[in-house]
Amino acid sequence: MNLIHRVGLLLAFIVIPFYLQAQVAWQQATTVEDICKLAPETMHKMLKQYNLDTPGLEGVRSAYKNGDLEQACSLLLQFYRQGTHAAHLRRTLPKVSGNRVALADTILNNVFVIQNVRGQVPYGADGHRDWYYKGPHNDREWAWLSNRHTQISQVLDSYFATGNPVYPQYIDLFLRDFILKSAPYPAKKSGTSVWRGLEVAARAKVWSKIFYGLLHSEYLSDATRLLMLSSLPDHAHYNRHFHAGNNWLTMEISALATVATNFPEYKESAAWLDYSIGAMVESMKGQVYPDGVQTELTSHYHNVSLANFELFKDICDRANKPLPDFYNQTILDMYGYISRNIRPDGFRALNNDGDRGSDRKLLLAAAQKYQRPEWAYLASNGESGARPKEGPSYVHPWAGQLVSRSGYDHQAHWSFFDIGPWGSGHQHNDMLHLSVAAYGRDFLVDAGRFAYTGEVADKFRPYAKGSAGHNVLLFDGKGQSPGPRLADKPLDMRHYKITPDYDYAANSMADFQDLNGKLEHTRAVTYVRGQFWVVVDRVTTDRPRKVEALWHWHPSTVVEAEGPLVKTNHPKGNLAVIPMGAPAYAISLVKGQEKPDLQGWYSPEYNQYEPNVASIYETEVPESTTLVWLLLPYESTLPEIKTGVLSVDAQQVRIEVSLNGKTWNLAIPYQQSDLLDVTSH
């Protein structure tokens, strides 16, 4: 190096601000020696978390006792490299290559896609990333989820797929940045972007994969490894002492067990595992109904809880910690619920705060794992597995859900009818909502969840949670009130009935927001297998009302009004909503409305939304009345059909439907399944 170059470097160093000197220090701290000099207190705290009497840690204990911090830390890493524990996480390193993965390369630029929103995390003046950055929409959910570190889990997968060193090198600096910047651990319950329970839990799981998967990699520095080992006890402490309940508990406690079993050398690991078993078993008792449905009654979060219950079982199996028989049975029951609700296209029911995700792969894997061929049959439209002995329709009496099908093929009719409690979390005010699909196509749909916080939520969250986004009735413009959260007993048989030829379910809602006077809405749905649905809405009121019947259509459908009916117009696969009898309706098709109120919007996934058609039937009723609807699926051309309401009384309605040379007479009770009578000729 010549003199001029040396002087230039010296001058550059002199004018570099202090924060950039600090940046260079932590970024270049890669060795055991470096981290012991940069963060000696952290390394001392880490070693105090260990049971140094653990076989194999004798050298660590001796070095630490003699005051040789660097030697103790070096021997600790050697202990892990020479060990065989957590064999399920240890991986053979790939051959080095220059191959790339586009998604991972995007992450290398600190561009993260969180819940379908793309944002680039900025750096602060100290050279660290802004771990509190809320994304382009100023959404705290974006910040929370970016701190779960799923992005570096994707980068890890890309490394093992390609062998390109840039991926573990990014992980190395990413983790060193995060752990140093997130210190000190607050040791209290928090809702911040960094130290909230769900994020703490997710990181513990991701870090375990990284620590053992890259244990012998030259691209993950020893300094970062030691920082991970120093921070994991803090993560376990948080999940042990500040966890929440419901599906949050399943995620947090499974993370506690993850740390306890992957790192049994920590002093508290045995106690953490014992606590986690007790907490998880007790939570399952209160979190899952006897019919196998998670109490939030949201298909999306049902799957979240199940995944963590099952993860916990796998953890305990590896640790030779047996779980009660009921715990193992409940996992099967929860999968059974998924199998009975799966739609013919393989997707789950979109209800409450859920996403329209596919359950097909999940269920096929579970069918193989647990040797349940009937699940495979349901997930594959009968192409594999064994036909279930029951079905094709199913009722879940604790959850209050009826799933009706014409069969198991991919063109089958399918409906989801909600007559149960509000739910213990992530609820919408949508009791008596009905979703309908047929011919491989969604027709009548739930609005979805849109977003929880940020700009999208500010606009759409009340619509998502309210009655106006669902297939229910509004009275004088008012929707339903919340509650009750939980069922204390299952629905009795008067509320539902399933036979080989038809299904029936019914219940009532009498609590509406800011509604004057008294009103009760009772809805009974009868599905005549392979033919049609009849929806009966009994309105019991103490005064005249404006009634709006809402039917929300999937955005992919082409919807048109034809006289009193509203129908789709596709070459193959259609549905018609046909009002029967009195009263007369004013019909409007509303799509993407923003004023005076939101109407006609659909969200299949978090932060994704688009306009859809809401067909609104409006009428004035002077007194208690009964509304009747025929929902008719048909393949291409609407068939000739005759309908009639034969009689209405305080207990039931009698109707007649003539279709394709056949006539059905139905006596449909409002809430007494044993009075249901369906005949045809």
Calpha distance 84→90 (Å, rounded): 8
pLDDT tier for residue 25 given thresholds of 50, 70 and 90: confident
Neighbours of 6 (CB within 10 A): 10
Beta-sheet pairing, 625-634 with 532-541: antiparallel
Q: What is the reported pLDDT for 665?
A: 97
Answer for the pair 386, 350: CB distance below 8 angstroms, yes or no: no
Residue matched to tokens 């409002």: 670
CB neighbour class for 472 (10 Å; exposed up to 12, middle 13-18, buried from 19): buried
Q: Which pTM does this prediction carry? A: 0.90
371: tokens are 């040797």
| pLDDT at residue 32 is higher than 80 | yes
| pLDDT at residue 54 is higher than 90 | yes
pLDDT (average), residues 661-678: 95
Calpha distance 78→346 (Å, rounded): 48
| pLDDT at residue 666 is higher than 50 | yes
pLDDT in tens, 58-83: 999 999 999 999 999 999 999 999 99
Calpha distance 338→292 (Å, rounded): 9
pLDDT (average), residues 535-539: 98
Q: What is the reported pLDDT for 456?
A: 93
pLDDT (average), residues 406-430: 96
What is the chain's mean pLDDT, rounded?
A: 94
pLDDT tier for residue 7 given thresholds of 50, 70 and 90: very low
pLDDT in tens, 507-526: 999 999 999 999 999 999 99
Which of the residue ranges 15-19, 92-96, 584-588 would you say has the lowest mean pLDDT? Answer: 15-19
Calpha distance 403→411 (Å, rounded): 16
- What is the residue-wise DSSP string for 494-549? GGEEE-SSEEEEEEEE--BTT--S-EEEEEEEEEETTTEEEEEEEEEESS-EEEEE
pLDDT in tens, 597-655: 999 999 999 999 999 999 999 999 999 999 999 999 999 999 999 999 999 999 999 99
pLDDT in tens, 425-448: 999 999 999 999 999 999 999 999
Answer for the pair 536, 628: CB distance below 8 angstroms, yes or no: yes
Q: What is the reported pLDDT for 14?
A: 31
| pLDDT at residue 10 is higher than 90 | no
| pLDDT at residue 19 is higher than 70 | no
Answer for the pair 579, 585: CB distance below 8 angstroms, yes or no: yes
Domains parsed from the chain with CATH numbers: 38-83 (no CATH), 94-242 (1.50.10.100), 246-390 (1.50.10.100), 392-637 (2.70.98.70)
Q: Considering only residues 668 and 484, tell me which one the structure prediction assigns the higher pLDDT.
A: 668
Q: What is the reported pLDDT for 483?
A: 84
336: tokens are 């059974």
Calpha distance 287→589 (Å, rounded): 40
pLDDT tier for residue 33 given thresholds of 50, 70 and 90: very high
- What is the residue-wise DSSP string for 325-386? HHHHHHHHHHHHHHHHH--TTSBPP--SS----B-HHHHHHHHHHTT-HHHHHHHTTTSSS-
Calpha distance 156→439 (Å, rounded): 41
* Contacting residues for 302 by C-beta, under 8 A, at least 6 apart: 293, 294, 296, 334, 337, 338
Q: Please confirm whether the linkage preceding 290 is cis (ω < 30° from 0).
A: no
- What is the residue-wise DSSP string for 291-320? TS-BTT--HHHHHHHHHHHHHHHHHHHHTT
CB neighbour class for 56 (10 Å; exposed up to 12, middle 13-18, buried from 19): middle
pLDDT in tens, 117-139: 999 999 998 899 999 999 999 99
Q: How far is CA 307 from CA 304, 548, 574, in A?
A: 5, 40, 36
pLDDT (average), residues 183-212: 97
| pLDDT at residue 200 is higher than 80 | yes
The percent of residues above 90 in pLDDT, for the chain, comes to: 94
Answer for the pair 359, 305: CB distance below 8 angstroms, yes or no: no
| pLDDT at residue 2 is higher than 60 | no
Answer for the pair 513, 481: CB distance below 8 angstroms, yes or no: yes
Q: What is the reported pLDDT for 11?
A: 32
Residue matched to tokens 């001029």: 4
pLDDT (average), residues 405-409: 97
Q: What is the reported pLDDT for 582?
A: 82
Calpha distance 340→348 (Å, rounded): 10
pLDDT in tens, 465-520: 999 999 999 999 999 999 889 999 999 999 999 999 999 999 999 999 999 999 99
| pLDDT at residue 9 is higher than 50 | no
